[in-house]
Amino acid sequence: RTALLDVFLMFWVLAGFACLVVDRDATRARLVTWYESAAPETPGGPWLGARPWRIAAGVCLGASCAVKWSGIFFLVAFAVMSLMWDAGARRAIGLRRPYGGMFRHDLPTGLVAMAAAPALAYTASWAGWFATPYGWGRNWDQATSGGWAYFVLDSARSWVDYQVQVLTFHTGLAQSHPYQSWPWQWPLLLRPVSFHYPSDVKGCGAAQCSEAILGVGTPVIWYGAVIALIAMIAWYVSGRDWRGGAVLLAYGVGFLPWVYYAIADQRTMFLFYMAPLLPFMALALTLSAGLLIGPAAPQGSRRAVGAAVTGAFMLLVIVNFAWLYPVLSAETIPFEDWHRRMLFPSWI
């Protein structure tokens, strides 16, 4: 519907997260095979190979940084999370020094996968800029000759200068905007962004018509996700379930840095910065639905009640989205119908 970088950031962050989940499963299966093979006991365990899924995760997260620098928050947090999963896997099979094994065997390959691979992916995203002399700031000192060595040096210096310009721009971005909002407003959809609202719209059959594209989420999903995230906190605190912890970590590293920038720098920001967190909100809802429905053979009628509540929630989501759809897709509707869909005065 709208061409925003945050949509592509969301894709690469989710792809990197998915690769790490696959890597976690593959790593644990490999450790179980080693343990059951009567291999000589070692305090820290074995080396687990190159781990291509973690390398793929590093490439995806490097691509997320190439889309927007805020991808670095996910990269660092997911790298630490992956190493903690490694230590947890070694501890789960009874190794005496799980963290020693992680530092000795997993950290070196982790640095390749989650540091070198992202750096290469980020640099590769500039291939088009390096390949021609026409990009912004491409020839920093306007050199036109000097041989290949000088060309490479000038290219590197120009590229580093470009990065400095980007950093300077964003650290000083505090200009007011009518649709800016603060992070603590985002989970409750208190201030969305109006992308399209022309004047003098006709053709709706009423005296006054509206045609809008409002950058806002489906309220039932967003408010439900707030409850689901609270459930994830309770689940993780009570049972240390890795799934709840992973979702909470992803949500936190995508949200809390913006709280810091809002307080420390008064940086201009918008609701659509939440886009990379939408998959993790959906995962929180899905995991909460699983907890509500319960295991395959629960006692009494819990499963039927849980399924009914989950199904009712999904119906509310569909109805809520259908109700909002005209102001998400620039349908021409009477002004009164548009105004009824503005949940808060701050939506206008």
Assigned token pair, 292? 């509500």
pLDDT for the residue 310: 95
CA atoms within 13 A on the CB side of 85: 24
How far is Cα 217 from Cα 311, in angstroms, rounded to an integer? 20
How far is Cα 81 from Cα 197, in angstroms, rounded to an integer? 43
pLDDT for the residue 68: 94
241, exposed or middle or buried, with CB in 10 Å at 0-12, 13-18, 19+? middle
96 to 42, 79, 83, 85: CA distances (angstroms):
8, 23, 17, 16
Per-residue pLDDT of the chain (348 residues; tens, 9 = 90+): 567 899 999 999 999 999 999 999 999 999 988 888 766 667 778 888 899 999 999 999 999 999 999 999 999 999 999 999 999 999 998 888 989 989 999 999 999 999 999 999 999 999 998 888 788 888 765 555 556 566 677 788 888 888 988 888 877 777 888 999 999 999 999 999 999 999 989 988 899 999 999 999 999 999 999 999 999 999 999 989 999 999 999 999 999 999 999 998 888 899 999 999 999 999 999 999 999 998 877 667 888 899 999 999 999 999 999 999 999 999 999 999 999 999 999 999
Q: Using alpha carbons, select from 62, 70, 80, 15 the residue that is nearest to residue 254.
A: 70
Spell out the residues 6+ positions from residue 323 whose beta carbon is closer than 8 angstroms to its own. Answer: 341
pLDDT for the residue 176: 86
Assigned token pair, 41? 């006991």
How far is Cα 118 from Cα 246, in angstroms, rounded to an integer? 20
Give the N- to C-terminal CA distance of the chain in Å, as an integer: 19
Under DSSP, is residue 265 helix (H, G, I), strand (E, B) or coil? coil
82 to 107, 146, 196: CA distances (angstroms):
10, 46, 42
218, exposed or middle or buried, with CB in 10 Å at 0-12, 13-18, 19+? buried
pLDDT for the residue 319: 98
DSSP 273-310: GGGGGHHHHHHHHHHHHHHHH-SSS-STTHHHHHHHHH
Assigned token pair, 273? 């910065």
pLDDT for the residue 168: 83
| Cα dihedral value 284, 249, 6, 167, nearest 10 | 170
How far is Cα 205 from Cα 126, in angstroms, rounded to an integer? 51
DSSP state at residue 114: I
Q: Using alpha carbons, select from 252, 323, 328, 266 the residue that is nearest to residue 73.
A: 252
pLDDT for the residue 224: 97
β-sheet bridge partners, residue 213: 196
Is the sign of the CA dihedral 206, 208, 211, 216 positive or negative? negative
Q: Which residue is it, tokens 């690469």?
A: 12
Under DSSP, is residue 141 helix (H, G, I), strand (E, B) or coil? coil
Q: Tell me the pLDDT tens digit for each residue of 192-205.
A: 999 999 998 998 88
pLDDT for the residue 148: 59
β-sheet bridge partners, residue 214: 194
Domain boundaries in the chain?
A: 1-125, 133-171, 177-348
